């Protein structure tokens, strides 16, 4: 006799949780719930005390690129619910971290959390004040709310990435790094060109923790050349 899970799912013979249909639940919600119940990263995040499965994306990026190795001041853009901030402070307990998001976040010891819109005019100054000096690493896991129109969704997300890059150019110390979520196809050519002018290394990567069906990629720029004029 099959066992029914507490979340309204039924386990199949191979241990896969099948979500039962429920009145008022859309098909997309049912698929999302089933995916969550069967996602090993979701389960591992709960087991290790991380606030989201996204924590593993940063861990994998750090293992590949050594992002946190020398990071003493870190900015986390689009930080809620706080998984990336948790990883930063786990690996760099003495780091100074400024995290920002529109959504409320529970406190994280060692982090200065700002509940505000990163696109607001006052946000950059507030972040730099919280950081107390130039950043070694600017992280952006921000993504615009999708509307289902591929071109519009891409443009809205890239606007966030461009704003994050502009902030990084002002905030980073020489040698620093910038990481931002982009969509399938990577960053626009103009943005990549600007990143290559400003950083010694620019790469696109899809960490294993990103779902296979997801359109998200990350651009990783390292070796910031400084905020002054950069030769063409």
Beta bridge partners of 114: 100
Beta bridge partners of 139: 76, 179
217 marked ligand binding residue:
no
117 marked ligand binding residue:
yes
Q: C-alpha angle 53/220/210, rounded to 5°?
A: 25
Cα–Cα distance, 2 to 162 (Å, whole number):
51
How many of the other CB atoms lie within 10 Å of CB of 47?
8
170 marked ligand binding residue:
no
Phi-psi region of 64 (alpha: psi -120 to 50; beta: other; left: phi over 0): alpha
Per-residue DSSP letter, 133:
S
- Is 0.75 surpassed by the pTM of this model? yes
Distance of CA 90 to the CA centre of its chain: 16
Beta bridge partners of 172: 135
Helix, strand, coil distribution of the chain in percent, nearest 5: 35, 25, 40
The domains found in the chain, sorted by start residue, are 55-224 (3.40.50.150)
Distance of CA 216 to the CA centre of its chain: 10
104 marked ligand binding residue:
no
Q: Where are the beta strands (DSSP E) in 25-182?
A: 73-77, 96-101, 111-115, 135-140, 172-182
- Give the active site residues: 181
pLDDT of residue 162: 94
Q: Write out the chain's pLDDT in tens, 232 residues.
A: 333 333 344 444 444 445 455 555 555 444 434 444 445 667 776 877 788 889 999 999 999 999 999 999 999 999 999 999 999 999 999 999 999 999 999 999 999 999 999 999 999 999 999 999 999 999 999 987 766 667 777 788 889 999 999 999 999 999 999 999 987 666 778 899 999 999 999 999 999 988 677 788 999 999 999 977 665 5
Cα–Cα distance, 118 to 50 (Å, whole number):
24
Phi then psi for residue 50, to 5 deg, are: -85, 150
């Amino acid at each position: 006799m099959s066992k029914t899970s507490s979340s309204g799912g039924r386990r199949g013979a191979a241990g896969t949780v099948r979500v039962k249909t429920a009145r008022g639940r859309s098909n997309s919600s049912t698929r999302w719930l089933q995916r969550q119940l069967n996602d090993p990263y979701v389960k591992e995040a709960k087991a290790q005390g991380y606030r989201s499965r996204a924590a593993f994306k940063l861990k994998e990026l750090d293992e590949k690129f050594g992002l946190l190795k020398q990071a003493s001041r870190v900015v986390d853009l689009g930080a809620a619910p706080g998984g990336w901030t948790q990883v930063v402070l786990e690996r760099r307990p003495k780091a100074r971290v400024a995290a920002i998001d529109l959504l409320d976040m529970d406190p994280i010891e060692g982090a200065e959390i700002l509940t505000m819109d990163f696109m607001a005019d006052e946000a950059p100054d507030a972040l730099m004040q919280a950081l107390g000096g130039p950043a070694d690493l600017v992280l952006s896991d921000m993504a615009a709310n999708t509307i289902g129109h591929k071109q519009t969704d891409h443009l809205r997300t890239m606007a966030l990435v461009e704003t994050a890059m502009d902030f990084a150019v002002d905030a980073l110390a020489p040698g620093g790094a910038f990481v931002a979520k982009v969509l399938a196809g990577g960053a626009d050519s103009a943005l990549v060109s600007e990143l290559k002018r400003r950083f010694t290394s620019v790469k696109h990567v899809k960490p294993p923790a990103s779902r296979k069906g997801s359109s998200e990629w990350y651009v990783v720029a390292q070796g910031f050349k400084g905020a002054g004029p950069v030769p063409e």
